[in-house]
């Protein structure tokens, strides 16, 4: 999501994003079923660093683990 935002829209959200610097915790939810999960995590981390929030404690939550497990199970049973 974040990596597809046009620069103008990202600039419009800058004030909102900068509020993250004052948070006690960032809850970073990653859709691990996405083939782009690593890239999306990297982009979000980069944005947090750019806005000066890299030192805010972050809890990364892996969402849709069931889909990943089901995919792994079906590929191992078909071998």
Query: Between the CA atoms of 21, 22, 25 and 26, what dihedral angle is there, to the nearest 10 degrees?
Result: -40
Distances in whole angstroms, Cα of residue 22 to Cα of each of 54, 56, 68: 11, 8, 34
Mean pLDDT of 8-20: 80
pTM of the model: 0.68
Q: How many CB atoms lie within 10 A of CB 43?
A: 16
Tokens of 61: 């939550």
Q: 25-76 pLDDT, tens per residue?
A: 999 999 999 999 999 899 889 888 988 898 999 999 999 988 876 766 666 6
């Amino acid at each position: 999501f974040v990596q597809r935002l046009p620069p103008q829209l990202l600039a419009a959200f800058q004030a909102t994003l900068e509020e993250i610097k004052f948070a006690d915790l960032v809850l970073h939810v990653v859709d691990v079923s996405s083939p782009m999960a690593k890239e999306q995590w990297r982009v979000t981390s980069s944005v947090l660093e750019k806005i000066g929030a890299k030192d805010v404690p972050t809890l990364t939550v892996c969402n849709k683990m069931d889909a990943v497990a089901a995919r792994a199970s079906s590929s191992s049973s078909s071998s």
